[in-house]
Amino acid sequence: MDKLIKRLRELGFSEDVLIKLGSIRKDELMHMNSRELAEFLGVKRREALRILEVMFKIYTQEMYLPASSLSGRRRISLGVTALDRILGGGLPLGSIVEVFGEPGVGKTQFCFHLTARKFAALGFSKKAAYIDAEGSFSPKRLREVLEGNGVHPDVAMREITLIKPKSTAMLYASLLDLWDEFENYDLVLVDSLLALPRLEYHGLDMLAERQQMLAKILRLMLKISGKGILVLFTNQTIGKITSSEGKDAAGGFIVGHVPGTVLQIRKAAGGVRVLRIVDSPELPEAEALFKIGRKGLIGVTRRS
Ligand code: GTP
Ligand code: MG
């Protein structure tokens, strides 16, 4: 807490606020949302948000569970035998997953499918948040995939929070809103992470600023995933945003010890897609085939 208070003092927060803040335990503060904190400190919600933001930044490293604790987690099965096999039964709740691949390869279809599978696997007790940052959300197609996975589309659509941010700042703000009610969700999708930043930050001179913003977004996604939520984002270009070793355009800014899985989708002959585990804290590198069909992701039979 000392570090946090020192930093907030540097940022000009009043001593009154800092004294009140000093009376909360760190673990209590970590579980507060901006509404609760604003009320407790008697400050505006905006200020409370700022405090939480500074706190996330300082405590990010400590908040995440070691990757080894992933293995016992509940998973969202993809319902495609070959994919579930390499994924150890599906994608684990409480983790962050990056899906990358070239345009048109099926990343958005993967998101629709995962949304449907979430309801199929976990029921309706919690919601899914779908952040459509590239404008490719299709309710009609999603309903088809829901139905294809045995999920009632009318019921499921009510349990999906669709967010269409128009700027990177709005994307960040929508994640903050989700953090504020994390207990209502078990799946958060961001499709795609770089769509908006790429429009807003041009060229090399804005690269540092863009990376900073992305790092902020990523930290918040990590924080949300730390609450037992599966956070999945797509990325058109280079993978390994979550990896610490990246020297790629989009990586390299990062947050070590992320319990993150990096998946790549690529095209193969005959409409077949290959899903590859590029990086995982718990799984070996592996590949499996699938296709995109009316029902969403489907298995590839030997003859097809
Ligand atoms: P970008 O967002 O441009 O990076 O692409 P993406 O990776 O998100 O691709 P997307 O998920 O939009 O996949 C496009 C591909 O999915 C198409 O080329 C089709 O092969 C397939 N697809 C899209 N919609 C349907 C559909 O309604 N039925 C079937 N069977 N396939 C579809
Ligand atoms: Mg897409």
For the segment 48-62, the average pLDDT, to the nearest whole number, is 79
Span from the CA of 1 to the centroid of ligand 2 (angstroms): 41
Residues whose CB falls within 8 Å of the CB of residue 193, separated by 6 or more in sequence, listed in order: 133, 214, 217, 233, 234, 235, 241
Q: What distances in angstroms separate CA 211 from CA 37, 92, 118, 147, one per listed residue?
A: 28, 27, 31, 39
For the segment 150-177, the average pLDDT, to the nearest whole number, is 97
Neighbours of ion ligand 2 (CB under 5 A): 107-108, 136
Tell me: pLDDT of 207 over 50: yes
Residue that is written with structure tokens 């300082």 in the block = 58
| Structure tokens given for 264 | 């790549």
Give the residue, out of 98, 99, 102, 105, with the most ligand 1 atoms within 8 A of its beta carbon, to mutate for a pocket test.
105
Question: What pLDDT, on the 0 to 100 scale, is given for residue 256?
Answer: 35
Nearest CA to ligand 1 atom 20: 292
Residue 275 and residue 287 in contact, taking contact as beta carbons nearer than 8 Å: yes
Span from the CA of 276 to the centroid of ligand 1 (angstroms): 18
Label residue 39 by pLDDT band (50, 70, 90).
very high
Tell me: pLDDT of 255 over 50: no
**CA of 143, nearest ligand number:** 1
For the segment 269-298, the average pLDDT, to the nearest whole number, is 94
Q: Which residues form the pocket of ligand 1, taking CB atoms under 6 Å from any ligand atom?
A: 101, 103-109, 134, 136, 141, 236, 292-294
Ligand 1 nearest-atom number relative to CA 293: 30
Tell me: pLDDT of 125 over 80: yes
Model confidence pLDDT, tens digit, residues 70-101: 667 899 999 999 999 999 999 999 999 999 99
Nearest CA to ligand 1 atom 23: 109
The dihedrals phi and psi of 260, each to the nearest 5 degrees, come to -110, 145
Ligand 1 nearest-atom number relative to CA 294: 30
Q: Tell me which of 32 and 182 has the higher pLDDT.
A: 182
Question: What pLDDT, on the 0 to 100 scale, is given for residue 281?
Answer: 81
